[in-house]
Amino acid sequence: MHFLLYATNSEKMKAIGRRGISPITTTVAMIGISIAIAIASAVWLEGVIQPFFRIEKLEMSRPYAVYYGSNGSWTIRTTIMNKGTCDTRLVSIALNGVACDSSGAFTTRSKISSAPVQMIAMGQSVSFTIILKEGDVIGGKRLFSGTTVFLTFQTDSCNYPAVVDI
């Protein structure tokens, strides 16, 4: 009896004249759906993976010192360029392991000419001028001619050291 119902329904379908979707239409629809799913997956995957590919890379020009005998001070100059794939926040600058305070001072007489904490945008360069007074003690070292000063630029994730002879 079940077979008879099936046969009857099949005959009714033929009698009505319904046809299925053509193979070309089906193929085009499947390709369109596949492309839509691929695009949606790519957008989602980019959002998930992108934070893992943020690279911090700062390049520092070789710092150099110039002595001004008239006022007994050295001026150290250097430039930092952000060559990474994201903006970088410079947290502090240290001389001989001693970080400057928020105003850029290492001692009452030795200081940085610009703000030590700042954002360095991707591709941007920032120049620093550090003024050191002869006789100041920074990190247990008295500053005089022939002294080696250890300069460190600290970001949120890394330290960038340099050495300067004054």
Which H or E run includes 12?
helix 2-16
How far apart CA 104 and CA 80 sit, in angstroms, is 17
For residues 70 and 122, state if they share a domain. Answer: yes
Which residue range forms the structural domain that includes residue 12? 2-52
pLDDT at 99: 82
pLDDT at 70: 86
How far apart CA 118 and CA 52 sit, in angstroms, is 23
For residues 80 and 16, state if they share a domain. Answer: no
Entry pTM: 0.63
pLDDT at 81: 92
pLDDT at 157: 85
> Span 82-96, mean pLDDT?
87
CB 122 within 8 A of CB 81: no
CB 148 within 8 A of CB 139: no
For residues 44 and 78, state if they share a domain. Answer: no
> Span 131-147, mean pLDDT?
86
For residues 41 and 100, state if they share a domain. Answer: no
How far apart CA 23 and CA 11 sit, in angstroms, is 23
How far apart CA 33 and CA 37 sit, in angstroms, is 6
Q: What's the CATH code of the domain at 72?
A: 2.60.40.10
pLDDT band with cut points at 50, 70 and 90 for residue 36: very high
- Quick count: other Cβ atoms within 10 Å of Cβ 101? 13
For residues 36 and 66, state if they share a domain. Answer: no
Counted domains in the chain? 2
For residues 91 and 113, state if they share a domain. Answer: yes
Is it the case that residue 72 has pLDDT exceeding 80? yes
pLDDT at 6: 52
Last residue of a domain, one of 11, 31, 52: 52
pLDDT at 119: 86
For residues 104 and 158, state if they share a domain. Answer: yes
For residues 77 and 146, state if they share a domain. Answer: yes
Print the SS3 string covering 138-157: ECCEECCCCCEEEEEEEECC
